Structure 1
Amino acid sequence: MLRHVNRLQSAVYGIAIGDALGLPVQFMPRDSYPEVTEMIKSEKLPWPAGTWSDDTSLTLATVDSLLTCEGVDIPDMRARFMDWMDNGAYTQDGEAFDQGFTTVHALTHGCGCTNEQSNGNGSLMRILPLAFVKNLSDEQIAQVSGITHAHPLSVEACTVYVHAAQLVLDGFSLTEALETASLSSEIFSYLADISSRKRNEIRSTGYVKDSLEASFWCLLTTDNFRDALIRAVNLGDDTDTIGAITGGMAGLAYGMESVPDSWMNALRKKEIIERCLASQ
């Protein structure tokens, strides 16, 4: 069973909007492009403004599984991920794109990757919906991450992120939640003080540790949805995923009313999101 389902919408839309804002400038070096403040079309990518990528698609697959199965069902969730990869399920144009190597390798071979080199952000970007599962265990977080990313570092990043989201749902402020969740982890305890770092000290790569660090920095150095997302997608490099990770937590903390109308209106095919949210 899930809790606080009425707040799931803002978290999922936060992910989709952060993903779509960041996708057009993905992998571009920091400060090499005009500041992104609205949904734009990439000069290099073929998709229209407002298009989301694998970050959102796999989050929607996770949500669909959790709501349909009324909790964590690993075989069902893996099957939905396979449907995305093979058939373009949960995509806006019927075809998966921007798939991470680790994710594809793990789904193709039927087990999550455990080597040190497989610590991309591919499970962190989709893990947030687990915060809504009643009586969720850390073992379940590990199992869901481990569908694709089973190394302890990826699992720990997902655990910290989900714990922070649970605290927000329990009524903690965003700052309290992020700091408390960070301090509970030996690996990520330093994130409790991440707001003291300057922008040029923040890494924004697809390495899971960098992605969580960048997202927490954006959230802890802003006080609203819009500013957090603008900060995230203008860090450069893995902008869509850092936008998605930041956006999910910001959406959860600040609610649907905080989302700029221009961003919401530009997001393509919202009916796909609504269909997954209604899978009960």
Structure 2
Amino acid sequence: MFGPNWPNNGEIDIIEGVNRQVDNGMSLHTSANCQIPNLASAQLGTLNTGQCDSSFNYNSGCGITAQAGQHTYGSDFNSHGGGVYATEWTSDHIKIWFFPRYAIPHDILRGKPNPNSWSKPQAFFQGSSSCNIDTHFANHNLVFDTTFCGDWAGGVWSSDGVCSEGGTLTCQQFVAGRPEIFRDAFWLVNSVKVYQQKNYPPTDASSPYSNVTTSALNDNISLTSPPPSSTSLKAPGSDAPRSSSWQTSWTTGSSSPTKRAA
């Protein structure tokens, strides 16, 4: 997901990886002054770097690698039938979960997600005085993208001896000369569901979110949602604004999810 005037409105990479990667990478990319703390005990994944500023480290962003062996990406993801990625974006934090096909929470299946009842997320990006979430993230679009070569995949291509065939092929040569390799390089998505935090104390404690957009996908769909920082919500009978938040769940099939894959 990303906002206009990049990187000033931020980027949230929910599913991302390159080449033969097997564990999903999740990252944030922002303008200056966004540093994320390492909350190792509150997440399953491992923080690679807390610096989200896109002008540092060749725009690697602040990244978290999913817990190893959880079938979160690539051929392992495919062979286990895919699963559900869910993202919670609030003024306080951005969290990302992955649920394999056999362990999807019942509240997600019922369309009444309750992130407070779920296990630890794979990624927990905590906002703070070092990174104000509302300042750095706004007006995002949901994007599914497959990029051949590119800055990341192309940049690390030669380090993978299998893909580069011992360094004898560049990424561009491989893509141009091996079209059959990309037979299964597609997204198979059952649904995208967007929920907004209710603007009043929920009577059903298991459902703090109400559905905003549910769409069966086709080849031409474009889904745009307003950000949490753009909506000021008030409880009935109160003049006090309530912060809003968004929770997005993606139900993915057995395709290889990749944003910048070669």
The two structures have a TM-score, normalised by structure 1, of 0.26
Q: Comparing both structures, which one devotes a greater share of its residues to strand?
A: 2
Larger radius of gyration: 2
Q: Comparing both structures, which one devotes a greater share of its residues to helix?
A: 1
